Chains A and B, each alone.
Chain A
Amino acid sequence: MAALRRGSEAIRLHLCRSFSGGVGRLARERGTERRDAASSRVSRFCPPRQSCHDWIGPPDKHSNLRPVHFHIPENESPLEQRLRELRQETQEWNQQFWANQNLTFNKEKEEFIYSRLQAKGSGLRTKSGQRTALDAEEMADFYKEFLSKNFQKHMRYNRDWYKRNFAITFFMGKVALEKMWNKLRQKPKKMST
């Protein structure tokens, strides 16, 4: 019971972290001011000043998605700004969904394992001290139940994801065309001077 409580506490901490932005776990546990000072992992990273590209980071611990740090060019057009904001918003939306999804999955999996082990009458730990695990066949019931429980949630997510993906790609195309058009317009001007 104590182990589960500790586990759920850790998961609650992780949930807080995923919604408020990533903070080092050690810092949180120590309860230093750093917790307030530190913002999300994305903004902690600062690309070198001379870089004019976006930067992509390692996969997030909870969502497994890679955060992107978007570069803001000096002469950003309204279209480029709209694209960047859409990508930023989509990234945050994705991050929230998947972090929540994975944490919920792990939490419910722990609860399932615990309840099954209780029903079986075996303890949480084996004689060697390692955590008792259920085999794949016993877990199959949980996988089926979890999938059907989250079906509607996934339907909504799929629809939104496809819409956003198409929108982002469409805007990327527009921005690319705009850039090309500007370059073509600049060339005759240069030639005329």
Chain B
Amino acid sequence: FNMPSSLRLLAAGSVGGCVWYLERRTIQELPHRVTRLFRNVNNQWVMVQHLSFLKRMYVTQLHRGLSQRVKPKPEPATSPFLEHMSSGQARAEVDELPSLSASSLPLSQKPNEELMELKAASIVEHAVDTAKETKEERQWKEMKLHADDLPGILARLSKIKLTALVVSTTSAGFALAPGPFDWSCFLLTSLGTGLASCAANSINQFFEVPFDSNMNRTKNRPLVRGQISPLLAVSFATCCAVPGVALLTWGVNPLTGALGVFNIFLYTCCYTPLKRISIANTWVGAVVGAIPPVMGWTAATGSLDAGALLLGGILYSWQFPHFNALSWGLREDYSRGGYCMMSVTHPALCRHVALRHCLALIALSTAAPILNVTTWAFPIISLPINLYISYLGFRFYVDADRRSSRKLFFCSLWHLPLLLLLMLTCKQRPGREGDKGEAPS
């Protein structure tokens, strides 16, 4: 009974379970993103309800005030309003009310019912207006950073869930690499990659504030909401990048460190600006996604073998059905925000590329045993899921509608962790090269 291989299986199992859990949580969150239209409508409905409640509240106050004004007593109408408002807003109300009370004086002397009703209507309208403004003013927040908010803010700034997925692909790369499994190296690699990913994501958000504000998917990010200053975001990114890369370079090996720096550069300085210049950004982004598992492999072996490139290739190909399907539903936001995406500028190419890369996944899975990364069991047992995603890719290519794009996107979310898990279970054991169809021990 081989100790290292059981440890490897344990790591594989825990990695797979972790990835599966995270993917499930992402899936649970995705309906929010994909059905954002429904949520917007819902939010508007809630606001209408709130406004009508406020309107009712002010109308009852007004009726009290109006009944007081019918008697010929020059009473200022400020008191019913001030009772229900904070001092900050009262000032705004007092500015507007004198004009009302001045014009209402002649009315109180000549009670004309029709005029009163019209005035009441305009007062109510004004009250609703005021209510809206009051509500808006309450939405102003002080830009003061509280220490207990900071962890949550930094987690959102660094896109912690995406970082976790990136670290899990790196772990998969590490676990798939040949050689004895070194726990300390594994932990250092995961930590270093995680820090590098946090840094890259923070810089990405730093660059994209006005664009993120205009897209529903991204409008609640910390910099958009002003919860953190740009200076702090950049400082945080530096404080993650420097230790992260140092950890990878000196704690693991220089090759992994170099790949980490290169990936940060590629993501922040190439992919992010390129999103607004050319559709080539999708291909650059796919490389960014492919590098972490390569880093995991180089961390374990210290060299860039064919196996590392194969793993990178699988992640590279996976990005296309994943992203192209996602971008299909965001075409309006991309067009308005000025993002150059295939789904907007070259829709046919978008679907064609997605299908092409689904088929490439089958080819790459077949190449795995040839390069001694896995046994021949792998292309066989991964065939069903690869064929399924290719089928969905084909449907997306032919139908070109929102339904098929959503199906393909959701499939890609479970397809990748499952594929990596299968790879890990079919990993080629040392000294058994050439064995075909061997069941994992």
Q: Which residues of B are interface residues toward A (Cβ below 8 A)?
A: 88, 91-92, 95-96, 99, 122, 125-126, 128-129, 132-133, 136-137, 139-144, 206-207, 209-210, 213-214, 219, 224-226, 229-231, 234, 273, 276-277, 329, 331-332, 334-336, 338-340, 344-345, 347, 400-402
A-B contact count (CB 8 A): 135
A143/B344 in contact, CB under 8 A: yes
B136/A58 in contact, CB under 8 A: yes
Instruction: With A44-B133, A56-B225 as known contacts, state yes or no: A26 contacts B128, CB within 8 Å.
Output: yes
Tell me the complex Cα distance, A158–B137, Å: 31
Given contacts A34-B96, A46-B88, 13 further A-B pairs with CB under 8 A are: A27-B129, A30-B125, A47-B142, A54-B142, A54-B226, A55-B143, A58-B139, A59-B213, A65-B213, A68-B226, A143-B344, A154-B338, A165-B209
Q: Which residue of B lies closest to A139 (CB)?
A: B332
A56/B226 in contact, CB under 8 A: yes
Q: Which residue of B lies closest to A106 (CB)?
A: B336
Instruction: With A44-B133, A102-B336 as known contacts, state yes or no: A158 contacts B276, CB within 8 Å.
Output: yes
Q: Judge whether A4 is part of the interface by a CB distance below 8 angstroms.
A: no
> Which residues of A sit under 8 angstroms from B400, Cβ to Cβ?
137
Tell me the complex Cα distance, A37–B338, Å: 36
A58/B140 in contact, CB under 8 A: yes
Give the interface SS of chain A, mostly helix, strand, loop or mixed: helix
Tell me the complex Cα distance, A59–B122, Å: 28
A162/B207 in contact, CB under 8 A: yes
Q: Judge whether A101 is part of the interface by a CB distance below 8 angstroms.
A: yes
Distance between B72 CB and nearest chain A CB, rounded to angstroms = 26
- Give chain A interface residues in 130-178, CB to chain B under 8 Å: 136-137, 139-140, 142-144, 146-148, 150-151, 153-155, 157-158, 161-162, 165, 168-169, 172-173, 176
> Which residues of B sit under 8 angstroms from A63, Cβ to Cβ?
213-214
> Which residues of A sit under 8 angstroms from B336, Cβ to Cβ?
101-102, 105, 146
Q: Which residue of B lies closest to A60 (CB)?
A: B213
B129/A172 in contact, CB under 8 A: no
> Which residues of B sit under 8 angstroms from A30, Cβ to Cβ?
122, 125
> Which residues of B sit under 8 angstroms from A24, Cβ to Cβ?
129, 132-133
Tell me the complex Cα distance, A56–B141, Å: 5
Instruction: With A33-B99, A64-B219 as known contacts, state yes or no: A53 contacts B144, CB within 8 Å.
Output: yes
Q: Judge whether A45 is part of the interface by a CB distance below 8 angstroms.
A: yes
> Which residues of B sit under 8 angstroms from A27, Cβ to Cβ?
129
B92/A136 in contact, CB under 8 A: no
Q: Supply 11 A–B pairs (Cβ within 8 Å), ascending by A.
A: A46-B88, A55-B140, A56-B140, A57-B136, A66-B225, A94-B210, A101-B338, A136-B402, A140-B347, A143-B334, A158-B338
> Which residues of B sit under 8 angstroms from A158, Cβ to Cβ?
273, 276-277, 338
A144/B401 in contact, CB under 8 A: no
Instruction: With A56-B226, A94-B210, A102-B214 as known contacts, state yes or no: A44 contacts B92, CB within 8 Å.
Output: yes
Instruction: With A56-B141, A56-B225 as known contacts, state yes or no: A147 contacts B273, CB within 8 Å.
Output: no
Tell me the complex Cα distance, A177–B88, Å: 34
> Which residues of A sit under 8 angstroms from B91, Cβ to Cβ?
46
